[in-house]
């Protein structure tokens, strides 16, 4: 405040000092009012009326509950005591007694209350100078919300100048590019320095769009991070107004690393599915040919004397056919078209039973460590196929260890795969699983090999040292069993394969180790053989006749029904292929069983897409012989089914 004496002297020189003061008071842009010691408004200006409205009759500050509740009365008391006091913000709603939110407030007053002294310097009145700051507070709140959104979001945000210098970046951008806030604030970061040369043209095109229409079409590009690695982003931007007409802008960036990884997994899964369909079809057709080759070769071998000159030749034929059969089984496993016979299994117990065999397999120079959980949940899997998984993974681990020494570790554990894991691994469903992992201390695998490691015939071994079907077989078995397999490895850091099988709802029973079975006795019963492949049919008929059975043969279901109708005497067993033209094996058996209630059935198939198999799992209680057909398996299965039926009916 100026010196009162000098103010009086200045006013004395004005023609009408009172009019001057009234004009200044009434036209001031802020709300002004003077209040007496009772809290009554003495005078006020137009700005006050515009802000607060007309003052009601009998109104005093001291009977205003809103003013009192927000500390206004106390501020007035202090002003009468000689202080100048900041006032507000005071929130006023439509109902003076109601506390309101900022957006619902009619006004939010803020200002100062100060004493008005008489000639003796004693405060006789107090004056208020206030204004509505609601708009400013709303703006500050909006800016704060925007700042929180900018800093808390997953999208990177950066402001840049016409020369490409980044002047501000949010936390997401800094983390995405492995930069510090000091790098930005000190002007050490420019758009061009972060961009690989081959992506500069993308930025140039975006700048042209910004100049022409103020925004650019979202585009994908790469940045070079602070640690030298690259990150793929989806980038969009908008131009900001400037006083000098130069180009400034704001850019928004979304990290595409995870999306691109998931896309690569999806493409790989599609490729594996296509290869699997092709491999499965080829293996199925080849199995029928191998059944005939192996079958007739086995019959010839059994007819020859050990010193016969042809015996060694026949043995070579059988050996070659068995190797081919092994390849087809691996192809069917990869394509998820083999037929499984799942049982409730305790993986820890089952893998533990393989320990001695595994130690012989890997040799004495490699350490085998088993870390098997004792409280493992049961899984429903095919025990034979699980052994194939473990054997192939251990062999692969042994081959990855160079020279002498090294360690292979097999772990089992109950695990829970959550939504986050499922989101990062294509095709995985969250839930409860049993994990089987095989780790080695070998040379590790680079990213290019990891992408193709489960493909059939892909191998890093030298020509002639491997078929490239081992891990493909593992992949197919695991996926057909409802599980998942992932490989984790870096060059020089070893490799871990993790297999996840869904937990079963019940506890696995103790495993029974197989005992030596006696050779099956010869037969005398009549068997109806139905097979549309002539070579397979001829071999099976010949093999059964050699065992003493009477064989009636048919090439399809209709022919089999006619033969059964015309045959005089009982038919003990139907041996039928499952997939045949016009009538499948199950439908044929159901037709025949209506007139022959005691008829037994054994199905033959090498394919999973049929009526006795669902998603590769054999229907419970089904008697089945897989193709290619082994002479020993054929003989044993037929005899065991007939003997079981005889015992059931009280026959010996």
Residue by residue, DSSP assigns 533-595 as -HHHHHHHHHHHHHTT-EEEEESSHHHHHHHHHH--S---EEEEESS-SSS-HHHHHHHHHTT
DSSP secondary structure of 307-370: T-TTHHHHHHHHHHHHHHHHHHHHHHHHTT-SPB--EEE-HHHHHHTTHHHHHHHH-TTSEEEE
- Residue 10, number of CB atoms within 10 A of its CB: 11
Q: What is the mean pLDDT of residues 37-59?
A: 85
pLDDT band at 467 (very low <50, low <70, confident <90, very high): low
Is the C-alpha dihedral spanning 445, 446, 449, 451 positive or negative?
positive
Q: How far apart are CA 561 and CA 571, in angstroms?
A: 12
Cβ neighbors of 143 (< 8 A, separation 6 or more) are: none
For 130-139, write each residue's pLDDT tens digit: 888 888 877 7
Asked whether the predicted pLDDT for residue 74 surpasses 60, the reply is yes
For 150-162, write each residue's pLDDT tens digit: 555 567 888 787 7
Please indicate whether residue 284 or residue 77 has the higher confidence score (pLDDT). 77
Q: How far apart are CA 57 and CA 55, in angstroms?
A: 7
> Beta strands 230-240 and 617-618: pairing type?
unpaired
pLDDT band at 473 (very low <50, low <70, confident <90, very high): confident
Q: What is the mean pLDDT of residues 434-448?
A: 85
For 362-407, write each residue's pLDDT tens digit: 888 888 889 898 889 999 888 877 887 888 888 888 888 876 678 8
Share above pLDDT 70 across residues of the chain, in percent, rounded to a whole number: 77
For 241-261, write each residue's pLDDT tens digit: 665 666 778 888 888 877 666
pLDDT band at 230 (very low <50, low <70, confident <90, very high): confident
Please indicate whether residue 452 or residue 276 has the higher confidence score (pLDDT). 452
Q: Are 603 and 578 in contact (CB under 8 A)?
A: yes
pLDDT of the residue at 31: 87
- Residue 334, number of CB atoms within 10 A of its CB: 29
Asked whether the predicted pLDDT for residue 84 surpasses 80, the reply is yes
Q: At 36, list the tokens.
A: 């007496």
Cβ neighbors of 321 (< 8 A, separation 6 or more) are: 290, 293, 294, 297, 628
pLDDT of the residue at 261: 65
Q: How far apart are CA 129 and CA 124, in angstroms?
A: 17
Instruction: Please tell me whether the peptide bond between 639 and the residue prior to it is cis, using omega within 30 degrees of 0.
Output: no
Is the C-alpha dihedral spanning 369, 375, 377, 381 positive or negative?
positive
Q: How far apart are CA 588 and CA 560, in angstroms?
A: 8
pLDDT of the residue at 180: 79
Please indicate whether residue 104 or residue 120 has the higher confidence score (pLDDT). 120
Q: How far apart are CA 328 and CA 606, in angstroms?
A: 10
DSSP reduced 3-state for 391: helix
pLDDT band at 516 (very low <50, low <70, confident <90, very high): very low
Tell me the pLDDT of the chain averaged across its residues: 78
Q: What is the mean pLDDT of residues 432-454?
A: 83
Q: Are 507 and 379 in contact (CB under 8 A)?
A: no
Please indicate whether residue 310 or residue 552 has the higher confidence score (pLDDT). 552
pTM of the model: 0.42
Please indicate whether residue 554 or residue 17 has the higher confidence score (pLDDT). 554
Asked whether the predicted pLDDT for residue 522 surpasses 50, the reply is yes
pLDDT of the residue at 525: 92
Q: How far apart are CA 422 and CA 428, in angstroms?
A: 5
Q: What is the mean pLDDT of residues 630-644?
A: 86
Please indicate whether residue 101 or residue 280 has the higher confidence score (pLDDT). 101
Report the candidate in 380, 355, 291 with the shortest Cα–Cα distance to residue 329.
Answer: 291
pLDDT band at 327 (very low <50, low <70, confident <90, very high): low
pLDDT of the residue at 552: 95
Please indicate whether residue 101 or residue 428 has the higher confidence score (pLDDT). 428
Q: Are 45 and 31 in contact (CB under 8 A)?
A: yes
pLDDT band at 270 (very low <50, low <70, confident <90, very high): low
When mean pLDDT is compared over 334-343, 406-415, 459-468, 502-511, the highest value belongs to 406-415
Tell me how many degrees the CA angle 257-262-268 measures, rounded to the nearest 5.
125
Asked whether the predicted pLDDT for residue 650 surpasses 60, the reply is no
Instruction: Please tell me whether the peptide bond between 187 and the residue prior to it is cis, using omega within 30 degrees of 0.
Output: no
- DSSP lists the bridge partners of residue 553 as 529
Asked whether the predicted pLDDT for residue 517 surpasses 60, the reply is no
pLDDT of the residue at 381: 84
pLDDT of the residue at 463: 46
Q: Are 83 and 112 in contact (CB under 8 A)?
A: no
pLDDT of the residue at 508: 57
Share above pLDDT 90 across residues of the chain, in percent, rounded to a whole number: 10
Segment 77-85 long-range contacts (CB within 8 Å, at least 24 positions apart): 79/113, 79/114, 79/115, 79/123, 79/126, 80/37, 80/115, 80/123, 80/126, 81/115, 81/123, 82/115, 82/123, 83/114, 83/115, 84/112, 84/113, 84/114, 84/115, 85/112, 85/113, 85/114
Is the C-alpha dihedral spanning 8, 12, 13, 14 positive or negative?
positive
Separation in Å, CA 403 to CA 272, 399, 406: 33, 10, 8
Q: Are 389 and 485 in contact (CB under 8 A)?
A: no
Domains annotated on the chain, with CATH = 4-134 (3.30.450.20), 153-255 (3.30.450.20), 261-331 (1.10.287.130), 343-502 (3.30.565.10), 526-648 (3.40.50.2300)
Please indicate whether residue 181 or residue 124 has the higher confidence score (pLDDT). 124
Report DSSP state, residue 426.
Answer: T
């Amino acid at each position: 405040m100026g010196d009162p004496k000098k103010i009086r002297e200045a006013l004395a020189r004005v023609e009408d000092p009172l009019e001057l003061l009234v004009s200044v008071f009434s036209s001031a842009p802020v709300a002004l009012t003077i209040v007496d010691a009772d809290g009554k408004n003495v005078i006020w200006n137009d700005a006050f009326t515009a802000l607060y409205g007309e003052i009601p009759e009998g109104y005093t500050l001291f009977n205003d509950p809103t003013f009192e509740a927000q500390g206004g009365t106390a501020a007035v008391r202090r002003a009468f005591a000689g202080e100048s006091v900041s006032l507000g913000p005071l929130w006023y709603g439509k109902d003076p007694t109601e506390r309101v939110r900022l957006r619902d407030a009619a006004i939010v007053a803020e200002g100062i209350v100060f004493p008005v002294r008489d000639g003796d310097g004693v405060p006789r009145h107090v004056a208020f100078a206030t204004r509505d700051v609601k708009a400013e507070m709303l703006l500050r709140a909006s800016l704060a919300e925007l700042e929180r959104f900018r800093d808390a979001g997953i999208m990177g945000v950066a402001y840049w100048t016409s020369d490409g210098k980044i002047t501000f970046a949010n936390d997401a951008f800094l983390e995405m590019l492995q930069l510090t806030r000091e790098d930005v604030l000190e002007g050490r970061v420019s758009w061009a320095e972060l961009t690989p040369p081959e992506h500069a043209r993308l930025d140039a095109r975006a700048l042209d769009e910004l100049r022409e229409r103020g925004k650019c079409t979202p585009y994908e590009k790469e940045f070079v991070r602070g640690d030298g690695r690259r990150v793929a982003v989806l980038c969009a931007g908008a131009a900001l107004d400037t006083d000098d007409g130069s180009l400034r802008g704001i850019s928004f960036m979304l990290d595409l690393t995870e999306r691109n990884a998931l896309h690569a997994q999806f493409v790989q899964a599609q490729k594996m599915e296509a290869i699997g369909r092709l491999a499965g079809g080829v293996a199925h057709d080849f199995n029928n040919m191998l059944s005939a080759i192996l079958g007739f070769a086995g019959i010839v071998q059994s007819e020859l004397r050990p010193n016969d000159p042809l015996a060694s030749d026949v043995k070579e034929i059988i050996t070659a056919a068995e190797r081919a059969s092994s390849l087809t089984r691996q192809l069917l496993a990869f394509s998820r078209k083999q037929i499984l016979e799942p049982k409730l299994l305790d993986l820890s117990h089952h893998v533990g039973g393989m320990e001695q065999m595994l130690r012989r397999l890997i040799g004495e120079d490699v350490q085998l460590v088993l870390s098997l959980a004792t409280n493992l949940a049961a899984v429903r899997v095919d025990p034979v196929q699980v052994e194939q998984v473990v054997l192939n993974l251990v062999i692969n681990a042994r081959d990855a260890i160079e020279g002498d020494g090294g360690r292979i570790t097999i772990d089992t554990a109950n695990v829970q795969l959550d939504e986050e894991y499922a989101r990062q691994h294509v095709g995985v469903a969250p839930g409860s699983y049993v994990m089987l992992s095989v780790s080695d201390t070998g040379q590790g695998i680079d990213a290019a090999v990891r992408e193709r490691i489960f493909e059939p015939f892909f191998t890093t071994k030298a020509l002639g040292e491997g078929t490239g079907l081992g891990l493909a077989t593992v992949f197919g078995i695991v996926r057909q069993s409802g599980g998942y397999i992932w490989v984790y490895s870096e060059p020089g850091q070893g490799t871990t394969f993790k297999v996840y099988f869904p937990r079963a709802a019940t506890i696995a029973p103790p495993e029974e180790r197989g005992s030596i079975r006696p050779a099956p006795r010869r037969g005398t019963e009549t068997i109806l053989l139905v097979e549309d492949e002539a070579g397979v049919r001829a071999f099976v008929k010949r093999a059964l006749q050699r065992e003493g059975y009477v064989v009636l043969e048919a090439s399809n279901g209709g022919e089999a029904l006619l033969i059964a109708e015309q045959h005089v005497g009982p038919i003990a067993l139907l041996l039928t292929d499952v997939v045949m033209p016009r009538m499948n094996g199950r439908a044929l058996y159901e037709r025949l069983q209506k007139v022959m209630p005691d008829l037994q059935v054994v199905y033959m198939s090498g394919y999973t897409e049929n009526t006795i198999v669902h998603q590769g799992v054999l229907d419970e209680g089904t008697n089945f012989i897989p193709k290619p057909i082994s002479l020993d398996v054929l003989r044993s299965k037929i005899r065991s089914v007939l003997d079981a039926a005889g015992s059931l009916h009280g026959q010996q």
